[in-house]
Chains A and B, each alone.
Chain A
Amino acid sequence: MVLELQKPRPIWQIMFSTHHTDVGLLYLILSIAFLFMGGTLALLIRAELFFPGAQVIADSMTFNRIFTVHGTTLIFLFLLPSASAVGNYFVPIMVRYKDMAYPKLNAIAFWMIPPAAVLVWLGFADFTWYATPPYSIISSPGPAADMWIFGLKILGISSVLGAINFVVTILKCKHPDMSIGQVPLLAWAFLSSSLIVIVAIPTFAAALLMLLTDRLGVSGFFNPAMGGDPIAYAHLFWFTFHPEVYVLVIPAIGMMYEIIPRFSRKPIYSKSSGIFAFVLLSVVSFSSWAHHMYATGMSFTEKTVFMLGTLAAVPASGMHVFNFVATMWNGRIKFLTPMMWSIGGIALFFSAGAGGVANAAMPLDFTTHDTYWVVGHFHLFVMGTIAFGTIGFIYYMFPYVTGRMYNETAGKVHFILSFIGTILVFFTQHVLGLYGMPRRVFDYPEIPEWIIMNQIASVGAMIIGVSMLIFLINLIHSAAKGKPADIHDPFGLGGKYYYPFESKNPHH
């Protein structure tokens, strides 16, 4: 068996192990736990917005704290760790090395996450996941805000350590017989996203320190009262976090590259174009950050440059979508749960991408800026594409991790409900934005269109909530009592796997 929760060892031995699959397992459990915690906050937000006025949340400050931690949790404590989980499990096996390049560093990178999560969750800061200055400097109460800043600092370091580990593992530790072109696409995805992390994160790390010293009053980088400029923070933040979007999406696409050929029972249509598109995406991810700031009074030239830079991501994304469709074409597709999640993810990736093109066009951006359109757009990406790819892959890994099969029917119901819910929530939010509803609001005026669309979105969110409950029960029940899986071919697909039963990396 490849993945070895199954070894009858005490739990503390797994926790303090440095073996890549053990660390991967820890990442996986942590990320799934935070998926549910962050999702609960999302349901609270949607319940609050079901009607205008205050419903379930006492006041706007609490509402702000909830959506701040919702965003921070799902990005930093679900999406990033779940990608690391998959990478830890599969990258060493795919490059045929016995472990990650630096096993102890790997464990350290994981164990930095729980303290950071404690800081973020105990403090429950209220300044949005963007830590909007000057609010975050002069108005946001401590120690919550300072705890968030330190938490994010730690998470950033953890990401960089993990990324260094992936890059070294893939480039220096791959089997000597294997050329870089032979490295599977999932490993390529981790190589690309890790390179982005290494280049992008330090900027935000600097911005966080500046934010902290601004709060302490020893500097005034982003504090207008002391001659600072909040827009400078916007640049530093988005220089990190626009590429970060690609850090999240590239591994999810890599996971789809793993699932789609397998379940289509065909080789990938064009591996080299997949590699090329990954590299292209990681380069152009740095050419688009200022499209978040069209409305801040940039010059026409700047806006045009960043509009073109943003649109440069379209061909690369299109190559991936084309590759997926061409792989499925004429394949003997087996519609099991992981495949359904991947196909749903591709469809929503395409929709979100289309919305993104509309957003990138800077004249249109002025209409949609800071409205619910933006909320709908990025949620369609992070939920519809990234989380769909990741959840599909969690189903795919499940038999390898536990030795048991998940419940196929429950998995399909989970997908169908989530797919419907996602469309209801986030497509509606696009329209809501066009009707002018601003984002990050606790209350809204009683405009009939706003009310009905908020209610549609809230119902959609509850449908996702129900489907996620099914997912949780399925995971727990199947891990405890599921049918034992045929470990050589759990999905009955035939053909060869990258990670056959016998390629287990021994413990050390």
Chain B
Amino acid sequence: MSETETVYLTSSARVGKMMIIMLGICIVGGVIFFSMWDYWICCPAPVVEMMSGAKDAAEQGVATGKTITQDLKFVESADGFSDLAFNALTGEPGHNPTINANVGDKIIFNVENGGKGFHALGVTSDEEGFGGIISGSDVASAASPLKAGQTGSSEFIPAKEGTYYYICTVPGHRDLGMVGEIIVGESTGPAEAAAPTGVSHDLSVNFVESEDGFSDLAFNALTGEEGHNPDFVVNSGDEITFTATNAGKGFHAFGVAASPDDFNKPLWGSEIASSSAPLKAGESGSSTFTAGAPGTYYYICTVPGHASLGMQGSFIVE
């Protein structure tokens, strides 16, 4: 060791220079990052389009009938993801309007993106997913969607009887509620109401949970207790007002469905809240709907899994 060797020290100037370089990198990076905030998450993976294109889409029919013009507007709940719909949010009048048409009618869609996110329209005969879009019925696409405020139009001519769906073709949006039915021809599904009877019922249920919150879920009273999952009997065409109250601690939602497994397919607009925007503890909600064709239906908690844990009861239409 040479005692004469200078010991160099870091200097204020050097440290300051280093801090300026690093802050500069952060500021430049931050500007790029925030100015392109939407760009970084704009495009679904290519596999999404390939998977949706894998199925054969139904074809447009030949125009022989009348022309129906339908205005559709994409709307979103305030947070932008918990509820998506056409024209009006869940529970409001004009929500996801059902279009009745006959084979050969020409349906013209005038579409507007009234939300903040990206949307696109298409008609499909698939009961789920975002594939099978009938060519010509689409406005924009998931890969190049309508941005907020943009508009477009398209037309759809049903080729055969049945139920078609107009949906938002951005993956996931249909599941969040952006779907409406197009009922074609005279076909009447089991969900179709008979002539209104003018009779109305007020029904109500409470969501209850066992102490631990998961081993037993039920309506009104736990398994084995009196008043557990009561049966309701109504006539087809009756107007029913259902009130559901969440008396537990977890999240719940209500709906009448053809099977307890159909938690994502509530019938007749009977749903109160939804699994993505559920009733929190103590909250309650109600819905008014008309009972459809006779049969045995189920009223269930539409939060996935809850029906199978016991939150289901019979809803009999005579």
Contact = CB atoms under 8 A, between A and B. Distances in A.
Nearest to B42: A141
A487 B7 CA distance: 8
A500 B2 CA distance: 12
11 contacts: A6-B8, A6-B9, A33-B22, A60-B81, A65-B41, A122-B29, A216-B47, A217-B47, A225-B51, A484-B9, A487-B7
B18 interface: yes
A500 B12 CA distance: 26
A333 to B, nearest CB: 28
Interface in A53-72: 54, 58-61, 65
Contact of B81 (A33, A61, A147): A61
A140 B21 contact: no
A65 B49 CA distance: 23
A501 to B, nearest CB: 6
Nearest to B9: A403
B249 A447 contact: yes
Given A121-B29, A139-B172, A479-B15, A144 B41 contact: yes
Contacts of B250: 445
A480 B19 CA distance: 11
Interface string B36-70: 10011111111111110000000000000000000
A316 B12 CA distance: 45
A403 B45 contact: no
Contacts of A11: 14, 17-18, 21
Interface string A397-417: 000011110000000000000
User: Chain B CB within 10 Å — which of A6, A401, A404 has the most?
Assistant: A6
Given A118-B29, A147-B40, 5 more contacts: A6-B8, A8-B8, A217-B47, A402-B9, A402-B10
Interface in A449-482: 476, 479-481
Given A33-B22, A54-B79, A445-B280, A6 B40 contact: no
A122 B10 contact: no
B16 interface: yes
Contacts of B36: 122
Contacts of B12: 480-481
Contacts of B22: 29, 33
A143 B43 contact: yes
Given A487-B7, A501-B1, A214 B47 contact: yes
B80 interface: yes
B15 A445 contact: no
Nearest to A5: B10
B7 A1 contact: yes
Given A6-B10, A447-B249, A484-B7, A502 B46 contact: no
Given A6-B8, A139-B172, A487-B7, A217 B249 contact: no
B1 A502 contact: yes
A388 to B, nearest CB: 24
Interface of A: 1, 4-8, 11, 29, 33, 54, 58-61, 65, 118, 121-124, 126, 137-147, 214-217, 223, 225-226, 401-404, 445-447, 476, 479-481, 484, 487, 500-502
B97 interface: no
A107 to B, nearest CB: 18
Contact of A142 (B44, B79, B172, B251): B44
B7 A403 contact: yes
A338 B280 CA distance: 49
B281 interface: yes
A404 B9 CA distance: 7
Contacts of A146: 45
Interface string B67-97: 0000000000001110000000000000000
Nearest to B32: A122
Contacts, number: 123
A145 B14 CA distance: 38
B284 to A, nearest CB: 16
B278 to A, nearest CB: 10
A479 B32 contact: no
Contacts of B10: 5-6, 401-404, 479-480
Contact of A216 (B18, B46, B249): B46
B269 interface: no
B232 interface: no
B40 A143 contact: yes
A137 B172 contact: no
A28 to B, nearest CB: 12
Interface size class of B (residues with CB under 8 A): 35 or more
Interface in B238-297: 249-251, 280-281
A453 B31 CA distance: 36
Contact of B40 (A118, A124, A223, A402): A124
Nearest to A142: B43
B33 A122 contact: yes
A144 B16 CA distance: 33
B185 interface: no
Contacts of B4: none
B9 A137 contact: no
Nearest to A32: B22
B171 interface: yes
Contacts of B44: 138-139, 141-142
Contacts of B29: 118, 121-122
A487 B249 CA distance: 63
A445 B45 contact: no
Given A402-B10, A446-B281, A137 B80 contact: no
A217 B40 contact: no
A24 to B, nearest CB: 15
User: Chain A CB within 10 Å — which of B10, B45, B50, B172 has the most?
Assistant: B45
A138 B251 contact: no
B31 to A, nearest CB: 11
Contact of B171 (A7, A61, A65, A139): A139
Interface in B123-182: 171-172
B253 to A, nearest CB: 14
A182 to B, nearest CB: 23
B45 A145 contact: yes
A29 B14 CA distance: 13
B11 interface: yes
B45 to A, nearest CB: 4
Contacts of B19: 476
Given A59-B81, A484-B7, A445 B17 contact: no
Contacts of A447: 249
B15 A480 contact: yes
Given A118-B29, A124-B33, A403 B46 contact: no
A445 B7 contact: no
Nearest to B2: A502
Nearest to B212: A436
Contacts of B33: 121-122, 124
Contacts of B41: 61, 65, 124, 126, 141-142, 144
A243 B250 CA distance: 38
B132 to A, nearest CB: 15
Given A122-B32, A138-B45, A143-B40, A403 B79 contact: no
